[in-house]
Structure 1
Amino acid sequence: MLASIIVAVAWWFFEDSHMIPGLFKVVWKGLPLVLLALYAFQRHLGPDGHALTGLLLIAGVSDMFSELQYASAATLMGFSLLLGIWLYARNRRDHTVGSQKVLALVLVIAVPIISWFLLRGEEGRLLATGFSLLLAIMAAMAWTSRFSRYRVGVGAILFVVSDLLLFATLGPIHHDNPIALKLVWPLYYAGQLLIATGVVSRLRRDAAA
């Protein structure tokens, strides 16, 4: 996990450097999530741990492809999101209060609508909106799962925010806003880190009980 954080922070500082070789840059982009997958795998946490390992590993490979081809990266990330939905469906919260259900519903409705408007006039708008719907369902399921809302739930929402910010840079904000672009990676990685540590923490606690 520490190695993952170090590599992720280093990527944030050097991602715009033109001195990094292409292939090395591709591998570097995915390495933080691959290391998080290894962190989860080493805990031997059964089927749920394997699902977490899988979704992190696929997300890491997706990050690598994002340096090459966005369509392939989005497809791979879609599989990662489906694994996440399956994981959270297996771990439903016994009692979900009304405010939690409302937030989950708002996520599923609002995120694709916001994405649709952010990407107006952009090629691939419909597919990107469909992806954002899948992402919103994952976040809603994470928020209403038995895992910590302050880690896994918040992590999933940070993931959503990072993608909306990315869509905004492709639409109304464009690439002339370096601050927005620089926030995409830390929000995304922080979200994945919170998801990984939150799920692992709960599964280890269950195993020790």
Structure 2
Amino acid sequence: MTRGRAMFFWTALLAGGTYLPASWLLPHDALIIAWKGAGVALLALWAAIQARSLDGWLLVAVLALGAAGDVLLETAGLTTGALAFLAGHIVAILLYTRNLRPLSWAADAPIAIGRLLLIPALAFVFPADRAAAPAIALYATGLAAMAAIAWLSAFPRSRVSLGALLFAVSDLLIFARLGPLHGSILPDLLIWPLYFCGQALIALGVVGVLGGGMGQGSPRRLRR
């Protein structure tokens, strides 16, 4: 990673890492909304600078849609923001599917299937408003598919699969805040750090394979 490229990554971490305390201390205005979107947007810019293939640009799209979702949640509401995130999950599924590892179904399938089933189930159970539960579970199905395919992909599990799981846990805390964790401080403390760490790990893991130390990027050669 050259110094110039690294600057974008560390600036992204600075923006993402300082957003939560800033949101507590400053008025909820255009500055805070832009601050919220800046972290993942800068990750997208960092990935774009290094994109050399379709897979690289798919990662850029995933991150750009995430940044759009961050802003749209504040400016256009939950449904519009969720649609942006869902579009990002679909692009991520395409990216991971293009780069599957040689699979041992006995070892790999249980975790993938567990994610695929458990995440939507929890998303459906959590909301106290039962009328909203089906739509939330539908979104969570896309989230779960992304997390499951991330586990099956050849990208490093310690970064990409973990990042996808942190993203999923962050969203589940949002849904839990609508039900069993209503009024709890835990979602307020954990949702953003888990989400942003997840996005940063995904970006770092994918870029590290596609653009770092493995030629033109051959994630199928990678293991854990």
Q: Name the residue aligned to 2:6.
A: none
Paired with 1:122 and 1:190, the residues of 2 have a C-alpha distance of 30
Paired with 1:96 and 1:142, the residues of 2 have a C-alpha distance of 15
- Among 14, 27, 30, the alignment partner of 1:20 is 27
Compute the RMSD of aligned alpha carbons. Answer: 1.4
How has the CA–CA distance of structure 1 residues 179 and 120 changed in structure 2, closer, same or farther, with 3 Å as cutoff? Answer: closer
Unaligned stretches of 5+ in structure 1? none
Moved over 3 A (4+): none
- Among 3, 6, 13, the alignment partner of 2:11 is 3
- Among 185, 189, 193, the alignment partner of 1:178 is 185
Q: Name the residue aligned to 1:91.
A: 99
- Among 197, 205, 208, the alignment partner of 1:198 is 205
Query: If the length of structure 1 is used for normalisation, what is the TM-score?
Result: 0.94
Q: Name the residue aligned to 2:69.
A: 62
Q: Name the residue aligned to 2:163.
A: 155
1:15-164 counterparts in 2 under 5 A?
15-17=23-25, 19-20=26-27, 22-68=29-75, 69-164=77-172
Number of equivalenced pairs: 207
* Greater mean deviation of Cα atoms: 32-41 or 92-101: 92-101
Query: If the length of structure 2 is used for normalisation, what is the TM-score?
Result: 0.88
- Alpha-carbon shift at residue 3 of structure 1 (Å): 0.4
How has the CA–CA distance of structure 1 residues 92 and 208 changed in structure 2, closer, same or farther, with 3 Å as cutoff? Answer: closer
1:170 is matched by which residue type in structure 2? L
- Alpha-carbon shift at residue 20 of structure 1 (Å): 3.0
Paired with 1:139 and 1:197, the residues of 2 have a C-alpha distance of 16
1:112 is matched by which residue type in structure 2? P
How has the CA–CA distance of structure 1 residues 121 and 208 changed in structure 2, closer, same or farther, with 3 Å as cutoff? Answer: closer
Paired with 1:99 and 1:80, the residues of 2 have a C-alpha distance of 28
